[in-house]
Amino acid sequence: MGTRRPRAWLLSAYRADSHAAWADWLLASQPQVDWRRLELPGRHFAWRIRGNPLSWLDALPAEAPDLLLATSMVDLATLKGLHPRLAEVPALYYFHENQFAYPLSDRQNHWLEPCMVQLYGGLAADRLLFNSAFNRSSYLEGVATLLTQMPDAVPAGIVERLTQKSELCPVPIAPVSAAAERDPQLVLWNHRWEHDKAPEVFAEAMIALAGEGVPFRLALLGKRPRQVPPALARLREALPERIVADGRLPLDEYRTQLGRAGIAVSTARHEFQGLAMLEAASAGARPLVPDALCYPEQYPPVCRYPEGDSAALVARLRKWLGGDLPPAVDVSPWHADRLAPLWAEVLGTLAT
């Protein structure tokens, strides 16, 4: 008889696109673990992050696993409290994001509970895994700031406890092949068209460059809401003849556009790892990103412009579109084949 594989539960309370891709890859790449997967749909954020222990109240298997791997959308502390058989099970807590550093839209109010879920989850876990150093530092700094705002009875050393059991373990990307012929004047946008990605800044820059007569073409990709975002509507109205792709494309077509693009732009106000930019850079597109968030970990200074400086963005694009492109960036440290052994090591440490 062979050695029994360690049993692990993957608990993902918000199966959105990047969370789903990570979970799918992890289970496929780590067959040495006997996985049981429990996920909730990626919608109704406020209910998901607070209500997942209730949603799973009667759904968890009767037999406890050898290991829990929960995303930071999971209220791990409450889950362990409701199920005493899980109290002593080793737990990894994986941060795709953290609520301390997430920018709120004009329609949102700051609320305390999502931050407290992730604070308690961090304390309840044996190890905290982060997809970037920025994610880790902003979480720890956010916890420290929150605790200073509490009126009394705050124990000492909370941040130190969390820091001691924190480490980096990025989400991998599947590298994209370059096209046989690249278009150095094809500018790619492959992010969500939502407030935290600041698409209005991108639209303003491209319209300004068009007004100067700078030649370029646009591939406007990425997930968009049902109602057309104002930034996308502006680009469609102002630059229809320059748009060569517009929509959330099938995967093969999406990868083709990445392989053709000369430049990929981010104007994000929030980015914990930036998978879309890493994918574009893997295909050879030159990344142009804010000098903030996770980006300094990934791209050299020539690829970064001062955060929030739209004039600097326009100036860099003008230069690059004029033929002065920097070298391609090596993002192979984030390739799946490089990260699979790291994940195997992390899982093996506790799943014994």
* Number of other CB atoms surrounding residue 113 within 10 Å: 12
User: How many Å apart are CA 255 and CA 123, to the nearest integer?
Assistant: 40
Residues 213 and 346 grouped into a single domain: no
Residue 3: its pLDDT value, please? 80
Residue from 67, 74, 13 nearest 44 by CA: 13
Domain harbouring 275, CATH code:
3.40.50.2000
Domain presence at residue 221: yes
**How many domains is the chain built from?**
2
Clarify whether residues 134 and 118 are in a common domain: yes
Rounded to whole angstroms, the Cα distance separating 114 from 298 reads 28
* Average pLDDT along the chain: 95
Is residue 258 assigned to a domain? Answer: yes
How far is Cα 321 from Cα 324, in angstroms, rounded to an integer? 7
Asked if 240 and 298 sit in the same domain, the reply is yes
Same domain, yes or no: 216 and 339: no
In the structure encoding, which two tokens stand for residue 295, read together? 């980006």
Number of Cβ within 10 Å of residue 158's Cβ equals 17
Amino acid at 291: D
Q: Are residues 232 and 307 in the same domain?
A: yes
pLDDT at 1: 42
pLDDT in tens, 83-129: 999 999 999 999 999 999 876 655 545 578 999 999 999 999 999 99
For residue 286, count other CB atoms closer than 10 A to its CB.
Answer: 22
pLDDT tens per residue, range 288-307 = 999 999 999 999 999 999 99
**Residue 74 to residues 2, 83, 168, 244: CA-CA distances in angstroms?**
33, 14, 19, 40
Are 34 and 163 contained in the same domain? yes
Are 168 and 281 contained in the same domain? Answer: no
Task: Show the domain range for 70.
Answer: 7-172+335-350
Query: C-alpha angle with apex 268: 285 to 149, nearest 5 degrees?
Result: 145
Q: What is the mean pLDDT of residues 244-259?
A: 96
pLDDT-based confidence at 4, cuts 50/70/90?
Answer: confident
Expressed in angstroms, the distance from the first to the final Cα of the chain is: 18
- Are 127 and 19 in a shared domain? yes
271 occurs within a structural domain: yes
Q: For a pLDDT cut of 90, what percent of the chain falls above it?
A: 93
Q: What are phi and psi for residue 52, nearest 5 degrees?
A: -60, -35
Contact present, 263 and 317 (Cβ < 8 Å)? yes
Cβ-based burial of 61 (10 A; exposed 0-12, middle 13-18, buried ≥19): exposed
Q: Is 34 a member of any domain? A: yes
189 and 284 together in one domain: yes
> In terms of domains, do 162 and 22 share one?
yes
* 291 and 203 both lie in a single domain: yes
* pLDDT recorded at residue 36: 97
| Span 344-349, average pLDDT | 93
Per-residue confidence (pLDDT) for residue 350, from 0 to 100:
73
89's tokens: 């099970």
Residue 172 CA: distances (Å) to CA of 26, 117, 118, 219: 9, 26, 23, 24
2 in any annotated domain: no
DSSP letter for 249, please.
-
Domain assignment of residue 178, yes or no: no
Consecutive H or E run containing 346: helix 336-350
Q: Is residue 154 part of a domain?
A: yes
The answer on 58 and 22 residing in a single domain is yes
Chain centroid to CA 22: 10
pTM for the model? 0.94
Inside any domain, residue 1: no
